[in-house]
A and B are shown apart, each in its own frame.
Chain A
């Protein structure tokens, strides 16, 4: 037993003792962030250790408390950042580099979190339908009965969209909207954003909701290109408030043992080369103003984004979930 303890201590100590390193808890996929980390290590000599998980990361962090090895947290959506913030697991990072690179609406008012990329919740429509200026609201119109496909209503991306709807239209109207969309579904909500486009390609439905970067990823995949070729990517509500936008973001853990390295990594992630890498490899919109989009993403054109604050969206998240359950959206 004693030997075992010593052995385990050595394993865990190896994470603490090396000075030139930074520890990342990531909700984001490793293959996406690894090229970025490799570049960071190359530039600074700081080694990046990663653990990737989605469910329970916030609880793990909370349980670890002041002994947590985590320095930097990477998330895929605004609700996770707010959750970490509300559980008091973050610390403010005072960095001119960050505040200058990132527009105010894409960072926390108390400097505890920063967006790295933005992504639009697009409406995809079958090319056979022709061109049309879609709104999220009209998805509840009975004329689309049996024509709409979507993933689970309770996926964070959809919950954020519903939360934005609550902000714009209030609860009662949003509930009606959810019921209307539900009545228009071609099948029970299932699969992921790409699966819906595949279903459009196969003729199962005509309209789906999905994040912008999936379109780029499908177009560059040998098997999925035909799916993407069957649809238009639409930026909804261009005549109104604009398209709903979500973010991926970064924050520093409250008890980060390597604060300087963590700050260095965060600042690196908004640097021009890193932002370009995000744009190129994952087809997202770089948050830093002036960084070039990937050619493919740029070819979808300019669009008007809803400027509703992310914090307001996050505030309505729980309410959104309750309405989704109330509409029995997934059942």
Chain B
């Protein structure tokens, strides 16, 4: 019961949003519908599909290469492929636009080389398009797919793979007929996380001049001043995502995955030299495009524009970011563990639901979510203050909606879906038989979970914490709106400079975000290597 209450508590902002959309008038809607909304919807669907396609194309092969072959540099690539996660998409968008734009150095160089005078003289891809936006978003989000799929591959029952080979399947056939189908829950979870993140994105698509449903949300709210209609569009978006998730889960409802007899002795697939070059080249391409190149651009800017004093000044800001991210990651992981365990062990019919509904917040654009937090905690604050006044205590002020409390809760609501997905797919990798074995030995369930499941879940718990931590570090719109006075995080710091078209001076802060995101990734890698 208490699990349900917890899940519902996380749903409150979403319910607030639904509720607020009830009073939406049809005026703005019908105007939008007749003018731009069909284009926005089309763009949203195309972008979502394109990004999901790309992250699978980026993430699954790289996961297969790293976990199953003797690719060159495997030890490094294993964690290098995670690094793009630390890069905020809006930042990469900014950097790459600068680089590939008509006015950017690359096209300038080409024009100088070939003596082209105007854009009519040659063809060059336009990065500020839906396709370009999709590539950028996919480049920083594919590590979700890579990470969860790789974990799934590594925990797969190797006996099945051997059986497949014994029965005459080639290594490639085994991959497609056994490994990937077995990893499908992990791939699906990761892809749906990416989809939600994409649908909620505003900064990147805006920068690329791609109008999506988030554009419509902001237009109706800030432009037309109709917050109810904005909430309605956000609600539709959320429902859309929910439907996709349910359909996906339905489609594999009857599959049973029995695993967790990881056998380290499984030999790696030996690639020929050409295969090996191709495989490692593919991985390196992803690492370079998603991480190294943007990082080099940032370093060059920081070198040009930053001073030692700025580093010291930024430390406080950095501590704010770290504090918030650590709170959010810890709370989200603990809650997700509760939901995922409930899903695993409860006898009730709706055991899936707490996990599903608590993750709703992920598809909501950050600012809309922040508004929902204000709508939730604002009245609560007023009630507390009135109570204090009636008791003749000192009034506490806006202790819920006006402090980092609201930020932490908002980010937990937004990102718990990541922890939920990671831990649920982690549990799925643990054989059901392990649930019954302790009972037959007379060990109680909580004890069994503590002694058997949690140790097996440890990698997933770390992954969940890390992913939420990194996302919370990067989050911008909710923090921007909910923060108290004189309070900056690295993301708000960079945003302020970017919005004044001075990314150069924000480069240092951007490097710090990435660096702080890297620490847990490296730590995680060590942790996993030891276990």
Assess A55 versus B403: contact at CB under 8 Å? Given A198-B103, A202-B103.
no
Q: Is B483 an interface residue (CB 8 A)?
A: yes
Which of B31, B211, B367, B398 is the most central at the interface, judged by chain A CB atoms within 10 Å of its CB?
B398
Residues facing A in B225-251 (CB within 8 A) are 225, 227
Q: Is A303 an interface residue (CB 8 A)?
A: no
Per-residue CB proximity of B362-385 to A under 8 Å, as 1/0? 000001001100110010011001
In the complex, the answer to whether A69 meets B402 with C-beta atoms within 8 Å is yes
Q: Is B102 an interface residue (CB 8 A)?
A: yes
Binds A, one of B149-157, B278-286, B310-318, B484-492: B484-492
- Complex contacts, A188 vs chain B, CB 8 Å: 128, 209
Q: Is B433 an interface residue (CB 8 A)?
A: no
Per-residue CB proximity of A173-198 to B under 8 Å, as 1/0? 00000000000000111111011001
A56 interface neighbour in B370, B397, B399, B485, Cβ under 8 Å: B370
Residues facing A in B120-161 (CB within 8 A) are 128
Q: Is A5 an interface residue (CB 8 A)?
A: yes
* Nearest neighbor of A59 in chain B, beta-carbon distance: B371
Complex Cα–Cα for A187 and B129 (A) = 11
Per-residue CB proximity of A191-210 to B under 8 Å, as 1/0? 11011001101111000000
- Complex contacts, B484 vs chain A, CB 8 Å: 11-12, 15, 51
- Complex contacts, B374 vs chain A, CB 8 Å: 56, 59-60, 63-64
The number of residues on chain B lying at the interface, defined by a beta carbon within 8 Å of a beta carbon of chain A, is: 57
Residues facing B in A299-318 (CB within 8 A) are 318
Q: Is A127 an interface residue (CB 8 A)?
A: no
Complex Cα–Cα for A318 and B219 (A) = 11
Q: Is A53 an interface residue (CB 8 A)?
A: yes
In the complex, the answer to whether B399 meets A67 with C-beta atoms within 8 Å is no
Distance from B21 Cβ to chain A, minimum over Cβ atoms (Å): 15
- Complex contacts, B483 vs chain A, CB 8 Å: 51, 53
In the complex, the answer to whether B224 meets A318 with C-beta atoms within 8 Å is yes
- Complex contacts, A328 vs chain B, CB 8 Å: 35-36, 39
In the complex, the answer to whether A67 meets B381 with C-beta atoms within 8 Å is yes
Complex Cα–Cα for A169 and B401 (A) = 46
Q: Is B23 an interface residue (CB 8 A)?
A: no
Complex Cα–Cα for A36 and B90 (A) = 30
Q: Is A75 an interface residue (CB 8 A)?
A: no
In the complex, the answer to whether B35 meets A53 with C-beta atoms within 8 Å is no
Complex Cα–Cα for A318 and B375 (A) = 25
In the complex, the answer to whether B367 meets A154 with C-beta atoms within 8 Å is no
Complex Cα–Cα for A202 and B32 (A) = 36
- Complex contacts, A69 vs chain B, CB 8 Å: 397-398, 402, 485
In the complex, the answer to whether B396 meets A12 with C-beta atoms within 8 Å is yes
In the complex, the answer to whether B485 meets A23 with C-beta atoms within 8 Å is yes
- Complex contacts, B222 vs chain A, CB 8 Å: 55
In the complex, the answer to whether A330 meets B496 with C-beta atoms within 8 Å is no
Q: Is B405 an interface residue (CB 8 A)?
A: yes
In the complex, the answer to whether B31 meets A325 with C-beta atoms within 8 Å is yes
Assess A8 versus B403: contact at CB under 8 Å? Given A55-B218, A56-B371, A65-B382.
yes
Q: Is B520 an interface residue (CB 8 A)?
A: no
In the complex, the answer to whether B500 meets A16 with C-beta atoms within 8 Å is no
Distance from A216 Cβ to chain B, minimum over Cβ atoms (Å): 13
Per-residue CB proximity of B173-208 to A under 8 Å, as 1/0? 000000000000000000000000000000000001
Per-residue CB proximity of B476-516 to A under 8 Å, as 1/0? 01001111111100001000100111001000000000000
In the complex, the answer to whether A194 meets B501 with C-beta atoms within 8 Å is yes
Q: Is B108 an interface residue (CB 8 A)?
A: yes
Residues facing B in A279-331 (CB within 8 A) are 318, 321-322, 325-326, 328, 330-331
Assess A51 versus B500: contact at CB under 8 Å? Given A5-B399, A59-B371.
no
Assess A11 versus B367: contact at CB under 8 Å? Given A52-B496, A64-B378, A65-B378.
no
In the complex, the answer to whether B108 meets A202 with C-beta atoms within 8 Å is yes
* Nearest neighbor of B120 in chain A, beta-carbon distance: A146
- Complex contacts, A194 vs chain B, CB 8 Å: 501
Per-residue CB proximity of B395-429 to A under 8 Å, as 1/0? 11111111101000000000000000000000000
Complex Cα–Cα for A325 and B224 (A) = 11
Question: Once A and B bind, how many residue pairs between them come within 8 Å at the CB atom?
Answer: 145
* Nearest neighbor of B485 in chain A, beta-carbon distance: A49
In the complex, the answer to whether A203 meets B118 with C-beta atoms within 8 Å is yes
Per-residue CB proximity of A5-23 to B under 8 Å, as 1/0? 1001101110110000001
* Nearest neighbor of A200 in chain B, beta-carbon distance: B103
Complex Cα–Cα for A211 and B416 (A) = 42
- Complex contacts, A204 vs chain B, CB 8 Å: 102-103, 118-119
Distance from B111 Cβ to chain A, minimum over Cβ atoms (Å): 9
Residues facing B in A63-109 (CB within 8 A) are 63-65, 67-69, 83
In the complex, the answer to whether B128 meets A57 with C-beta atoms within 8 Å is no
- Complex contacts, A64 vs chain B, CB 8 Å: 374, 378, 398, 401-402
Q: Is B223 an interface residue (CB 8 A)?
A: yes
Distance from B117 Cβ to chain A, minimum over Cβ atoms (Å): 7
* Nearest neighbor of A203 in chain B, beta-carbon distance: B118
In the complex, the answer to whether B481 meets A56 with C-beta atoms within 8 Å is yes
- Complex contacts, B166 vs chain A, CB 8 Å: none
In the complex, the answer to whether A321 meets B224 with C-beta atoms within 8 Å is yes
Distance from B300 Cβ to chain A, minimum over Cβ atoms (Å): 13
Residues facing B in A131-161 (CB within 8 A) are 152, 154, 159
- Complex contacts, B113 vs chain A, CB 8 Å: none
Which of B36, B108, B501 is the most central at the interface, judged by chain A CB atoms within 10 Å of its CB?
B501
* Nearest neighbor of A68 in chain B, beta-carbon distance: B398
In the complex, the answer to whether A67 meets B102 with C-beta atoms within 8 Å is no
Q: Is A29 an interface residue (CB 8 A)?
A: yes
In the complex, the answer to whether A13 meets B396 with C-beta atoms within 8 Å is yes
A59 interface neighbour in B36, B227, B394, Cβ under 8 Å: B227
Per-residue CB proximity of B76-92 to A under 8 Å, as 1/0? 00000000000000000
- Complex contacts, B501 vs chain A, CB 8 Å: 192, 194-195
- Complex contacts, A63 vs chain B, CB 8 Å: 374-375, 378, 401
- Complex contacts, B375 vs chain A, CB 8 Å: 63
Which of A55, A159, A330, A331 is the most central at the interface, judged by chain B CB atoms within 10 Å of its CB?
A55
- Complex contacts, B224 vs chain A, CB 8 Å: 318, 321-322
In the complex, the answer to whether A30 meets B496 with C-beta atoms within 8 Å is yes
Which of B117, B224, B485, B487 is the most central at the interface, judged by chain A CB atoms within 10 Å of its CB?
B485
- Complex contacts, B209 vs chain A, CB 8 Å: 152, 188-191, 330
Distance from B407 Cβ to chain A, minimum over Cβ atoms (Å): 12
- Complex contacts, A152 vs chain B, CB 8 Å: 209
A-B contact pairs, 19 of them (CB 8 A): A8-B396, A8-B399, A29-B500, A51-B484, A51-B487, A53-B483, A55-B367, A67-B382, A69-B402, A188-B128, A188-B209, A191-B209, A195-B501, A204-B102, A321-B219, A321-B224, A325-B31, A330-B36, A330-B211
Q: Which residues of B come within 8 Å of A, CB atoms?
A: 31-32, 35-36, 39, 102-103, 108, 117-119, 128, 208-209, 211, 218-219, 222-225, 227, 367, 370-371, 374-375, 378, 381-382, 385, 394-403, 405, 477, 480-487, 492, 496, 499-501, 504
Q: Which residues of A come within 8 Å of B, CB atoms?
A: 5, 8-9, 11-13, 15-16, 23, 29-31, 49-57, 59-60, 63-65, 67-69, 83, 152, 154, 159, 187-192, 194-195, 198-199, 201-204, 223, 318, 321-322, 325-326, 328, 330-331
Q: Which 8 A-B pairs have the closest CB atoms?
A: A190-B209, A49-B485, A63-B378, A12-B397, A9-B396, A202-B103, A63-B374, A8-B399
Knowing that A67-B385, A201-B103 touch, tell me 8 more A-B residue pairs with CB under 8 angstroms: A13-B394, A16-B397, A50-B485, A56-B481, A64-B401, A154-B219, A199-B102, A321-B224
